Amino acid sequence: MEESVEQRLAVAPVTVPLPKASRITTGTDAYAAAVGASRSLFPLGTDTVVITSGPYPIFAAVGAAVASDSGAALLHVGVTSVPAIVLEELRRLAPSRIIVAGGPAYVSDAVIATLRGVTPQVSRIGGATLYETARAAFSAATAPADTVFIAGAKTTDDAPLAAVAAAAAGKRSLVVSGHALALDAATVDALRGAGTVRVVVVQSTSPLTAAYLQALRTAGFSVSVVGSTDRLAAAALAMRETPPGRTANVIVNPAKPQDVAVAAGVAAAVRQPLYYALPECMPDASASAIAAAGGRLIVVGSSTSVSSSVASNTSCSTVKASREAALTSAIRATAAKYAGSFTVTVRQIGGLHEVAQVNGGARREPASMMKIFAAWAAYKRVEQGRATLSTRLPSGVPLETCIRVMIHVSDNYCHTDIVHWIGISTINDMIRGAGFTNTYYGSVPRGTSVLYAGNRSSTNDMAWMMQRLANRSVLSPAYSDRLINHMRSQIWRSRIASGIPPGVPQASKPGALWIASGLLQADTAIVNGPNYSYIVSIIGDDGPSKAALRAISRTVYSHFNGSFGTAASYPVKQMVTTKPVGLRSSPAGTVVTTVAGGTAVEVLDGNREWYQVKWGSRKLWVYYTGLRNR
């Protein structure tokens, strides 16, 4: 027999003992993960189990609120079936009742029928949408509702925090559609019907709209916003709303949604705070709050997603300093094995935002890496409306074509065209005005190649430029992405790109130049590793080898993403003909021979729209549209 909505949660709150283990290791999927938590929390079984939809982890925020109100285990099922591991756990728990949080679109009637094979007392709290389900659970809850914690559902970051903060404070929570929709009458009625006075909005990367918040105030509720654009900081701020006297702190990596769903269920059931951590460490604010408030740590997730440093509440500032020192030392040790003098800068994208450098502020000849600044300045002029991508340079080549070949094949002619088109003093003002204090072009007469103009930059400036391109703060997104995509397709990949595993995305701009001390080797790249992305910039003077840059690249990659075997390698014949093309004696010169489409060729150099290729023992020329990357 199905209970009424009022009966579903109308029981006295149950105190759930803390699990004995300090780590709840999650399984390979949402179902096994929740089962692992259930076994830790309820070794002797439980009277009530809450079920939510595994394919929709956001429902776990509603399920956690229901589990908190009834001291229940929280498990997940498929939309149309109950995984065998979940059914086995239900039989072990032997509940007298099961509450399904979710409408038939998320947990089907067929699943309900299967659950009744465990106990006949199966009820559903749910509607056609997540928000209807959340309102139904809210209205059926027994906790006081004078203060209600709410969050949106655009990500899985905020709603679990609201549910846990409410559970720890002995209050209710509600998931709302406040990202783009107007405040609905059903939500207002639910809050008023429960006697709500104050609404605490928990938000981070996807905040509710200002109009939605104002509508709540207009409806007569006191509204407090708790959060940050950083979800880790938002967790610490949300947990400040919980009362003192805690006995535990539940920790999870928010990058793992299935783990967050499990952790929310655990924290809500035991009514203790939930904090978000990086794999390596606890955010400083969270570490300080935990140290001040006390209570043991219960981490949810594998040691890969939540390390032993997190389990010991080690702050990120401590771990960051240690890792930066280790990376700097490793770079120095690698460079010492090779001839040459090196400057290196590394900037992590995301994570701990580690920065390491070896003489990174030293001004050195950047060789063709300087073309990144020329391309940036050209796109900046387009962005400012002072040119278009089709603007023809004095050489007659369209601006976008010149930018492309300048990066793709590192053409020196287009580099000179662009710099003189902008003007050396103007481009230097632009570079300096953007904050790149170690970078400038040397002065040469208009029309003269800028290759040996006495240009200078530093690996610090190069890495910072790449980071600002990656985060789209130095150009608009469209032009930042355009420039990065050109660097992704450039063909000279024997340095940084050949020091990382095959298949790892990278965007790079290398350079080489004969200077007084010998051949300079340089490269700057964004590397998008499987765990962490980063930028590395290297300049090697005094005759270093490409192998040295590859070794430094491997060292940096291994620091962020772990050691690996054979590195990527690229064919000498980097390009292939797109159709039958004529190879010419010079740019736009006489056709010497015609080669079939699909023929692999080695590119040696460029002259604006013409690429020089090796054909037998000869150096011939082909129009750039006749070739593509292999």
pLDDT at 552 over 90: yes
The residue from 298, 314, 330 where one domain ends is 314
pLDDT bracket for residue 385 (50, 70, 90): very high
**Same domain membership, residue 65 and residue 106:** yes
Answer yes or no: do 83 and 215 share one domain.
yes
Give the mean pLDDT of 228-255: 94
Categorize the per-residue pLDDT at 245 as very low, low, confident or very high, splitting at 50, 70 and 90.
confident
Yes or no: say if 25 and 253 are a contact pair by the CB < 8 Å rule.
Answer: no
Residue 237 has pLDDT above 70, yes or no: yes
Judge if 532 and 604 occupy the same domain.
no
pLDDT exceeds cutoff 80 at 27 = no
Q: Tell me: do 151 and 230 sit in the same domain.
A: yes
CA angle 14, 20, 25 (to 5 degrees): 105
What pLDDT was estimated at residue 542?
A: 94
Statement: residue 255 has pLDDT above 50: yes
DSSP 348-367: EESTT--EEEESTT--B--G
Residue 143 neighbours by CB under 8 Å, 6+ apart: 13, 68, 69, 166, 170, 171, 172
Lowest mean pLDDT among 44-53, 174-183, 421-430: 174-183
Beta bridge partners of 623: 610
Radius of gyration of the chain (CA): 30
Q: At residue 12, does pLDDT exceed 90?
A: no
Give the domain CATH number at 588: 2.30.30.40
Among 561, 590, 611, the domain boundary falls at 561
Place 14 in a pLDDT band, splitting at 50, 70 and 90.
low
Amino acid identity for residue 94 in this structure: A
Tell whether the model's pLDDT for residue 53 goes beyond 80: yes
Rounded-to-integer distance, Cα 544 and Cα 202, Å: 53
Q: Give yes or no: residues 504 and 536 share one domain.
A: yes
Give me the pLDDT at residue 181, please. 82
List the domain range (segments joined by +) for residue 537. Answer: 322-561
Query: pLDDT for 404-432, tens place per residue?
Result: 999 999 999 999 999 999 999 999 999 99
- pLDDT value, residue 4: 46
Q: Name residues whose C-beta falls within 8 Å of residue 188's C-beta, 6 or more positions apart in sequence.
A: 219
Q: What is the CATH number of the domain that holds 411?
A: 3.40.710.10
Same domain, yes or no, for 370 and 405? yes
Residue 606, pLDDT score: 96
Those residues whose C-beta lies under 8 Å from the C-beta of residue 243, and which sit 6 or more positions away, are 168, 169, 170
Residues 519 and 609 in one domain: no
pLDDT for the residue numbered 559:
98
Residue 140 falls inside a structural domain: yes
Instruction: Judge whether 602 lies within some domain.
Output: yes
> Domain for residue 512, yes or no?
yes
Residues 463 and 517 in one domain: yes
Does residue 495 register a pLDDT over 60? yes
Residues 265 and 387 in one domain: no
User: In total, how many domains does the chain have?
Assistant: 3
Domain C-terminal end among 504, 535, 561 = 561
pLDDT at 432: 98
Mean pLDDT, all residues of the chain? 95
Give the pLDDT confidence of 500-531 residue by residue, as tens digits.
999 999 999 999 999 988 899 999 999 999 99
The 10s digit of each residue's pLDDT in 571-612 is 999 999 999 999 999 999 999 999 999 999 999 999 999 999
* 189-236 residue pLDDT tens: 999 999 999 999 999 989 999 999 999 999 999 999 999 999 999 999
Is 229 found in the same domain as 340?
Answer: no
408, 289: one domain: no
Task: Tell me: do 288 and 343 sit in the same domain.
Answer: no
Is the predicted pLDDT of residue 5 greater than 50, yes or no? Answer: no
